[in-house]
Every structure is written in C-alpha cells, then in structure tokens.
Structure 1
C-alpha cells in the first residue's frame, strides 16, 4: 500500500479541473508545496468521487455486463463473453481508498463533518465492491501507515462477514454525521462534490440506500440482521431517509473533455470506433425486452442496419441486398442458425470462439462491422450526454430491494407498490416514463408476487450497472442465466481471482484467505483461487448453483 506523496496531491488538483468550473487550486495558497497533513479535503474529494464512479461504471458497462448477459462482444471477446479471467487487480480500488483515507483523516482533524460523512460513505462503497468482487480482503489493516508511517505491504485479510459488518457501521455513522442542515457544516464547496453538489441530505439518502443494499446482500447468511436493519430504516424515514425517486439517484455525469473524463468506449476519443463497435446487445436481454414490449430497448440499442430475409422462393445461390435487406436463398444459409428479426438482433451468449461471424456477417474477425446484429444506441458513441452517467445506486434499485424484503414478509411496505415504483423509476430514468401505464398493464409485467419477476425487472433496470445484477444472481440464482457453449465453465462465475502480486508479496495472508474459499465442481484446475469457488457469502446457500 503506497504512501500519499506531494506528486499525488498535485495530480488531485490538476484532475479536478476536468470536473469543475472552479479552479480548485484557489482553495490552497501553495498547492505545489502542500503536505498530506495540511491538504484541504476539498482538493481530495473530486478524485475520490470521480475515480470510484469510473471504476464502477467500467465494471457494469464492460465485462460484468457480459456475465449477466446485457451485452456481448464480437471481437477480443473471451473475457467478456466466456469469463476467461486471470489475475484481476484491486490496486485501483485501494488507490481510491488511500485518497479517501486522507480525505477522512483531514476532515476529522478539521472537524469537517460533511466531509467525514462523505468519506465514510465512499469507504463503505469501495470496500463493498472489493469484498463483493473478491471475498475476504485487506480491510482493518489495509490503510495503515498511509500518512507518513511505515508502508504496510502485507496487510491481513479480514473475513467477508467482518467487512460487511464494518461497512454497515460506517454507513450508520455517516447517517448521523450528515443529519444536519447544510448551513451548519463547515468547509463545503459545492462544485467539488460531483455527485450531489454539496448537499448533505442527498449524501444521507445515499448512505441509507447503500445500507439497504448491503443488508439485502447478507440476507441469506444473516437473515435476522438483514431483517432488523431494513425494518429499522423503513420504519423511520425521518431519521433514515432513502432514495425514492430517480431525481435523487447517486450519479455522476461525464464532462467529456478528454478520454479520462468521457463515457467509456466512446468514438470521440477512440477515432477507430472499435471499442464501441465491439460491444453488442446480448440476445438474452434483447429477447427478454422484446417479449415484454419494453420501451427501453430503443433507448439502449439501434435497430439492425441490414435485416436478413431467408426466402425459399428465391433461386438457389441468391445472396443480395434488396431495399435495405439481405435476401438469402435457403442453400446460402444451410445449417447456420440465423436471426431474421427485422428490428433488433442480439448476440448469443458465448456461442462461439468467433462471435463476429454471427448471423452471416460478411466481415468476421477482429475489425468486423456486423450489419446484421444490433449495435448499441448512438448515444453510446458520445463522450458526454444526459443519459451517460455513472449510476452508483438508484431509486429503482432501492424499490426492488424493498419489494423483495416485503415479499419475505418483512415490514418494508407493500411489495407490489415497491415493484411498480421500481419499474416506473427506471422507465423515467431512461426517458420513457410516458409508457408506464401501458407497460405495467401487460400480463407479463403486471405484478404477480414472485421473486423471479422482481429480480427480472431489477436485472433489466441495472443496465450499465450490471455488477448489482451479478451480485443478485449469485444470491438468488435469478434471472436463471445459463453459460454459453464457448464459456470457460458450464455455469456463470462467482468472484474475481486474487491477483498474482498479492499471492506472491502477501503470501501468508492471501493463502489464509484462499483456504477459506469453498471449492466447487466448477473450480477445476484453478483450485481454490477460482472464479467458481464460493466465498463466505455463498457458502451453504445452495446458490446460485
């Protein structure tokens, strides 16, 4: 774990200029000479918030979107489609936590309670991601020696259970620290807070909504704790306010002024367009949305540029473009499986080692341009835009959590009311709220009181935040996703691999953590350190398989 240096502080100052119209160097007389024990918390906060949000959206828009079958890639696809993962690093996550630790310590020294609350929420968010992704991890000893002390490169690993306990305690403390009116806080500079513009009440809602997320996360292993925690929050909205409408969502916009401040895989800073072009809608999501006439599909995907038409009346050998359609005689298709949907076509999950060849693509390979499969909507080519936001937690997620809690029989309100509110919040987020009445009235969407239905809608609503859908799938087995034929294993993965550097440098502690993982029939040659080994959260649950 590295120490904070003068160079790091200078970087923080420079980075904030991308996310704020105010020159943040004004907050310190001599930013180039600032010491870590003198730095103003407002110089640190923007980098903590922006880097955390970027890590989160990169998970949910990239490989984890492949795991939960929101998207697939048609080139360089093995990690995304097939779960061919190795040596996944948590260094970036701990980098954020080191800066956040400095934010918390300086805020505490200066008695900046708002900044303390923000730092506790972000500590919970980042450690939550780490333990969700890897399992046991350095926690209580992870950031020791960061402010001038001896660098600790071999921290002990805390149990996953202990980390969740610590996260919930941090969020409880944050709720208290953030409970005052704005004018009672010292040191707030609105535009360094790129989530909520310096609003303590919004951060308080974020803290309590995250607590709901983590209480539900541990609900299978610690049902009594989860039930009590959720009921406490729901029963006391004055002292435990939560996110209830999409206007309160914890999000971050992308300024789009450089590659580092832009929506990932855009075509503005990637002139070749290859990163955008390789991401396709997954057939699993496309067909689900089509089956329920979901208006979000047109927001997320483009229609196929050239639909396929297989016509038995055509002469043998026919393969030509007519009126914007590719007309094929059956002999030109043979036994190849094709999708002739005239509007939206998704890429099947891990169906082949050469997914770019799907649907008779005339240009298979790494630089393919497949006109017979739906691209993502053109908005995802942009570097910035009103819908291009990192979404850390949403009203839709909160309502689906409470719908599930109510379905369990917990005192969390009415399950149907929360289910419908979750659906409506997601539709509003994606600008199709006017379709709510007709959408919810459909037989396949109208509330039926099943966990499968709640989790399906929650899975849909997690578009671009697919990590939450993955964590829900691990806990519930829903939606009932199956791995494709080219996937590394016959089932979906459960965790990230501990990186090799940690296994080498911190061998004793990492090995002790590995020993606590439960090997499954799918761990195979990976042994303990497998994406298919079960951490504490899943052990003994029978989920997801």
Structure 2
C-alpha cells in the first residue's frame, strides 16, 4: 500500500525516487506463493456477498444494465486475452454478415463451467428495423462485444439492438453482459481486494523505467501479467502463449514502456475500479478517452466534500475549498496532488 501511494504522489515529492527505492527493498508481495491482500466473500447476506449476486443485484436490472465497455473488450480481444471468457458473457443475439448463419444457435461453456446460449442474426438491410440500425452496428461476426461508454440513454440501441420491446429498460441482446461468475454471492475468484501481487509488480515496472529502482522493468511487467491471469484461473500454458505475442512485448523507448505497462495494469485492475480510476487520473494512460463520446467530457478529479461539512464544519470547509484550483467545490477542481 505504501508503494502504491508513493507512486501516486511521486510527482509532488523531490525525493520520490529514494522513497520508492527504500520501500521496494522491503519484503513485498512478489513471490508466486505470496497471497494477495484480499478477503473472501461468505455469501450469506447482502453485507458479506459479492455485489452482483442474488443477495444484492441478482438477475435483475441492476446486473443487466451494467455491461463491459467496448474499449476494454476490443483491447482484450485484440491481444487474444484469455480472461475474456472468464469476465464476459457471449452475446445473446450476435450479428453475422453470413446469411447462411441467420438463426443458427450455438452454446458456449466458459472456463468456470457456466453455460450460455446464443443465436446469430443476419444483418438483413431489407428489414426496415435492421436498416434503421446499420450505423449503430459496430460489432458483427463476434461472440463478444462491449458497450460504448458514454452512450447513456442510447443503451438499448447499442450495437444496433432494435428489439427494445423485448429487451425492456435494461435489455440489449447485441452487447455482452458480464459473465455468470459475477452473479454469484461467493466464488473462489471473487474477492474484496485490498492489494494484489500484480499491482505491486506493475508499480515496480513503472519505477524501474523511471529509474527509481534498479530492477528489470520487463521482468516486473511480465510478472504482473502472470499474477493477474493466475488470479483469474488462467492456465500456465495460456499465459505462456499470451506473453509470447509481439503485441505484449515492451518497446525500446521509455514512453512506450510506460504506456504498455499502464495498459496491462489497467486491464488487471478490472475489478478494482477505484484504483483503475486513480491510476488513470495520474497518468492519463492508457488513452481511453477518444471513443467519440467521452472525449467531450472533462475528466473528474475528485469527490466533492460531503454536504454536511457546510453545516457542521464550515470553517474547515472554506479553507479546504480555497486550496483547490480553481477554488470551487466540484469534481473538476484540482487538489494539491494534481496541481
């Protein structure tokens, strides 16, 4: 945790490198036998269950309306990432450009044994309802597809979904859901995560590129990927195949290395949303903003102060707001860490 926080604040401390080096020299989560700092879910009530399970979201709208982003799914598919079928469900009614496959159903069993049924639908532009959605059909001939972050009210038409009457408020048969793993109250792969070995290795990889420590950035980087995949039950053989790809290799230049490390760290933080956001806020890597919709929005930098501070702690509240840039209590002002 100290290593994480030092890297997060490294731009504000002249001696950040020395502090990080001293911390990196301490015993860390670095061996395959080291356990992640995480807590298993008991799964008996709303408090001790995974949030997506029947004790919380269940099979209802809360789970249905949360979909993986197209940015993440596309990136993982382009890298042949074996975590895709662990995290995401096959599309229920995927598009096909092959008329012969129209109406053909197929079953999929994911690595955790959960089963899914899908049926291909031909992009038949002679049908008015399909022709009207052609511009929205971004993924066809694919079993997995994500939803474009920032579409908001257009969710029901994501990837050309037109059967909104059947889909209801939250349904979309043309975009993947999260896998059934995330509908469980408890599972060996679902943990309340505090600090994982993979995050430690990615921080060390970044520190090595920046010259804070003398270790090998590539070694840390590959260890981070390996630990992340093993945390999700990926086999050694699949990990070896993944790491052997040229698209995974670190480039020769430092900016390129930092970008690649950030990309893999971002993927590995998939179920640790707060840390993924904070790292993105710090580095602006990977560049996930230019999806055609999010690029028009100002990136949020902070939470607003709680409303009760105005009534119960107004003096300290005013002092705090005065330190922001600009001195406005909203999500876009910068605190000392970001100035």
Verify same fold: TM over 0.5.
yes
What secondary structure, in the 3-state scheme, does the structure 1 residue paired with 2:192 have? strand
Decide which of 275, 280, 302 is 1:468's aligned counterpart: 275
Alignment check: 8 A CA contact 1:483 1:491 kept: no
Cα deviation, residue 342, structure 1: 2.2
Alignment check: 8 A CA contact 1:399 1:421 kept: yes
Alignment match, 1:336? 135
Decide which of 245, 254, 257 is 1:442's aligned counterpart: 245
Q: Which is greater in Rg? A: 1
Q: Distance in 1 between matches of 2:241 and 2:176?
A: 25
Cα deviation, residue 411, structure 1: 2.2
What secondary structure, in the 3-state scheme, does the structure 2 residue paired with 1:336 have? helix
Q: Does 1:391 align with 2:178?
A: no
Q: Distance in 2 between matches of 1:411 and 1:270?
A: 44
Q: Does 1:457 align with 2:268?
A: no
Query: In 2 relative to 1, CA 309–418 (structure 1 residues): closer, same or farther, beyond 3 Å?
Result: same
Q: Distance in 2 between matches of 1:390 and 1:402?
A: 23
Query: In 2 relative to 1, CA 277–407 (structure 1 residues): closer, same or farther, beyond 3 Å?
Result: same
Please, which runs of 5 or more residues in structure 2 have no aligned partner? 106-118
Q: Distance in 2 between matches of 1:390 and 1:272?
A: 21
Alignment match, 2:303? 496
Decide which of 77, 97, 101 is 1:290's aligned counterpart: 77
Query: In 2 relative to 1, CA 366–514 (structure 1 residues): closer, same or farther, beyond 3 Å?
Result: farther
C-alpha root-mean-square deviation of aligned residues, in Å? 2.3
For 1:199-250, what per-residue CA distance to the aligned partner results, in whole angstroms no more than 9, with x for missing partners? Answer: xxxxxxxxxxx111111111111141x2112211333xxxx21111464210
Q: Does 1:405 align with 2:204?
A: no
Cα deviation, residue 503, structure 1: 2.3
Q: Distance in 1 between matches of 2:9 and 2:217?
A: 20
Q: Write out aligned runs for 1:2-401 (5 A).
A: 210-224=1-15, 226-235=16-25, 240-245=26-31, 247-270=34-57, 272-310=59-97, 321-323=103-105, 324-331=119-126, 332-334=130-132, 335-338=134-137, 339-361=139-161, 362-363=163-164, 367-401=169-203
Q: Does 1:534 align with 2:334?
A: yes
Alignment check: 8 A CA contact 2:29 2:196 kept: yes
Cα deviation, residue 254, structure 1: 0.5
Aligned residues: 312
TM-score by length of 2: 0.85
Q: Distance in 1 between matches of 2:152 and 2:49?
A: 32
Please, which runs of 5 or more residues in structure 1 have no aligned partner? 1-209, 315-319, 520-526, 540-545
Alignment check: 8 A CA contact 1:352 1:486 kept: no
For 1:453-502, what per-residue CA distance to the aligned partner results, in whole angstroms no more than 9, with x for missing partners? Answer: 00000001101102112111111110112166666962321111112221
Alignment check: 8 A CA contact 1:391 1:465 kept: yes
Once structures 1 and 2 are overlaid, which stretch shifts more, 381-390 or 242-251?
242-251
Alignment check: 8 A CA contact 2:202 2:224 kept: yes
Alignment check: 8 A CA contact 2:52 2:58 kept: no
Query: In 2 relative to 1, CA 483–514 (structure 1 residues): closer, same or farther, beyond 3 Å?
Result: farther
Q: Distance in 2 between matches of 1:499 and 1:455?
A: 31
